[in-house]
Amino acid sequence: MSDFTHNDLANLKKAYARGVLKVREGDTWVEYQSMKQMADAIDRIEAELGIQRASRPRGVQRVRFGKMR
């Protein structure tokens, strides 16, 4: 059983999107040291809640546009 809720996850994602490293969780404040640490926490919470994310694209794809002859 997870101690986290979907609301906790949503609040953390909102803070992450704004670049805020200090968030309130219940009656306490949690301050993350970096955005990487915060992203890792989001990943852990999603895993505990059983949330599956779509696979992320990896790498770079080059596309060339031009006139056909």
Would you say 34 and 21 are in contact if contact means Cβ atoms under 8 Å apart? yes
Confidence grade of residue 2 (pLDDT, cut at 50, 70, 90): low
> SS3 string of the chain?
CCCCCHHHHHHHHHHHHHCCCEEEECCEEEECCCHHHHHHHHHHHHHHHCCCCCCCCCCCCCCCCCCCC
State pLDDT tens for residues 13-61: 999 999 999 988 778 888 999 999 999 999 999 989 988 776 665 666 6
* C-alpha–C-alpha distance, residues 58 and 18, integer Å: 24
